[in-house]
Amino acid sequence: MYGNFKNIVLEVIGEDPLQTPGSDKRLISKRVIVPNVTLSGINISEKVVMNTIAIKELVSVDGILSANALADYLVTIDYPNSKLIIDSDELNTADEDVTAFIQKDNVINFNIFIDGNKLEAHLDSGNPGGFDIPFSFKDKLSFKKEPVEGGVINTPVASFKKWKATLDGDVKIGNITYTNPDINLVEGFQFVNVGYNIIKDLRITIDKKNSLINFRKSASEIVNEDKEENSGEQNDYTGWYGDHTRKIFIENEEMYLQRGGAPKLKLVKMAEDKFEMVLDMLVKNELPTINFVRDETNNVTGLKFVFKDGREDYVEKDK
């Protein structure tokens, strides 16, 4: 776990580098001993080793709890119902939707089948996208829509160029099949990355002791976002952006941006097509301004996040 614990004194026993696969850049975290960790009354561990960095300078959370901290339990993450279920049961290898995963030090990787190719993938709830595939696999795949440049994927320590495409084939995760999905081909990625736009509809159960995992579609996933999108007040800016990962909407006569299950951000107008993002809570990490981009016919085609240090990140409006 990484966090900002101002009132807790922890014994520092070393340092660890943190980096994104495919990048040489790294952050340094302090390795500490935590006497006791509990979650909803469950004693997860005693004298557990954790890492701490100033995470609120990167993302607006207090910490990240990995599957390693819950290795002694069966953990179910029910995204559609916003539930974390912890018990002492085990998965049954005889069940057809149970599959083995690849034990890694800090992440859970598993085999995914893309257009008939077996590739290694990992879950990344912090990625707002869907299927991000290493660009190096491009020649092994078939496409309904050929790859086109689609901006960059930014992480706390690196940026990766991406190409957007529509697969002519299936992606299979366990027993779940996605036919002809939109994907990203990402330069520098080593593994397939399965992001929030996919796992938000899934109930994922992890049995780390036996290296087993299953993926199921929850009954609550039948949420008609398209119906919601077409209701309520609209303007030039409202709609989905970035392959259904960001939504601009109006609520109580105020305009908001929301990404995945993250808190909504109020958009306050600064100038024509330029807005400030405001979050109704104190955050240390910088919130960029938003500039909406228009084409020659004056239609909004995307939005550009502009940071104080000059960095820009463009997101295309869904058609």
| pLDDT tens-digit map of 111-134 | 999 998 999 998 887 788 899 999
**Does residue 36 share a domain with residue 2?**
yes
Indicate if the alpha-carbon torsion angle 270, 272, 278, 284 is positive or negative: negative
Structure tokens, 102: 């690849």
Of 221, 240, 259, the residue at which a domain comes to its end is 221
Distance from C-alpha of 5 to C-alpha of 2, rounded to nearest angstrom: 9
Residue 70 domain-assigned? no
Residue 71 domain-assigned? no
For residue 217, what pLDDT is reported? 81
Lowest mean pLDDT across 24-38, 52-66, 160-174:
52-66
Over residues 293-305, mean pLDDT = 93
- Whose tokens are 């696999």? That residue is 137
Mean of all residue pLDDT scores within the chain: 81
**Does residue 155 share a domain with residue 43?**
no
Residue 213 domain-assigned? yes
For residue 280, what pLDDT is reported? 58
Contact between residue 318 and residue 239 where contact means Cβ atoms under 8 Å apart: yes
**Does residue 139 share a domain with residue 28?**
no
Structure tokens, 66: 């990995």
Residue 141 has pLDDT above 60, yes or no: yes
Q: What is the pTM of this model?
A: 0.62
Residue 152 pLDDT level (bands cut at 50, 70, 90): confident
Over residues 5-12, mean pLDDT = 69
Contact between residue 169 and residue 116 where contact means Cβ atoms under 8 Å apart: yes
Residues 6+ apart with CB under 8 A from 273: 291, 292, 293, 294, 300
**Does residue 123 share a domain with residue 49?**
no
Which is more confident, 267 or 219? 267
For residue 58, what pLDDT is reported? 63
Main-chain dihedrals φ then ψ at residue 40, nearest 5 degrees? 50, 45
Lowest mean pLDDT across 124-128, 305-309, 311-315:
124-128
**Does residue 107 share a domain with residue 216?**
yes
**Does residue 233 share a domain with residue 217?**
no
Q: Of 306, 59, 24, nearest to 157 (Cα)?
A: 24
Residue 229 pLDDT level (bands cut at 50, 70, 90): very low
Distance from C-alpha of 317 to C-alpha of 49, rounded to nearest angstrom: 43
- Looking at the chain, the number of H-run helices and the number of E-run strands are 2, 25
Residue 140 domain-assigned? yes
Contact between residue 121 and residue 113 where contact means Cβ atoms under 8 Å apart: no
Residue 220 has pLDDT above 70, yes or no: no
Distance from C-alpha of 131 to C-alpha of 192, rounded to nearest angstrom: 7
Residue 151 domain-assigned? yes
**Does residue 312 share a domain with residue 210?**
no
Which is more confident, 4 or 53? 53
For residue 136, what pLDDT is reported? 92
For residue 292, what pLDDT is reported? 96
Residue 97 has pLDDT above 70, yes or no: yes
Main-chain dihedrals φ then ψ at residue 120, nearest 5 degrees? -85, 135
For residue 304, what pLDDT is reported? 93
Q: Give the number of domains in the chain.
A: 3
Range of the domain at 258: 225-316
**Does residue 268 share a domain with residue 185?**
no
Over residues 248-264, mean pLDDT = 82
Q: Of 154, 151, 148, nearest to 166 (Cα)?
A: 148
Of 221, 246, 265, the residue at which a domain comes to its end is 221
**Does residue 191 share a domain with residue 107?**
yes
Q: Of 173, 161, 169, nearest to 120 (Cα)?
A: 173
**Does residue 207 share a domain with residue 169?**
yes
For residue 60, what pLDDT is reported? 63
**Does residue 208 share a domain with residue 113?**
yes
**Does residue 123 share a domain with residue 31?**
no
> What percent of the chain shows pLDDT beyond 90?
28
Residue 35 pLDDT level (bands cut at 50, 70, 90): confident
Distance from C-alpha of 153 to C-alpha of 159, rounded to nearest angstrom: 6
Of 205, 221, 237, the residue at which a domain comes to its end is 221
CATH of the domain at 251: 2.40.128.50
